[in-house]
Amino acid sequence: SNINLYYDFQGIEIFLNKDYSRATSPFKVLKRQYQEEIFKHMKDININFVKVKAHSGNKFNNYVDKLCKKATLA
């Protein structure tokens, strides 16, 4: 199976590539959990990470941003 994972959050790329030099403190705490989950699933699924420029007018990125904002205000 294959999946494309679109992201605009630089932290995703930092954790995936294990480049912690650019990670800020809260993200360092989550890195191991994130890595364990992603790498666990990458054994069975080919995950293709696709960087999307944030706040660039991409309608799908804008939609996800709205959903995230709504979820954090709930």
The mean per-residue pLDDT over the stretch 6-20 comes to 74
Q: Does residue 74 carry a pLDDT above 70?
A: no
pTM reported for the whole predicted model: 0.63
pLDDT at 55: 84
Measured CA angle at 42 (ends 36, 47), to 5 deg:
120
- Structure confidence by residue, pLDDT tens digits, 31-57: 677 777 878 888 898 888 888 988 889
Write the CA distances from 31 to 34, 44, 69, integer angstroms. 5, 21, 22
The mean per-residue pLDDT over the stretch 16-27 comes to 64
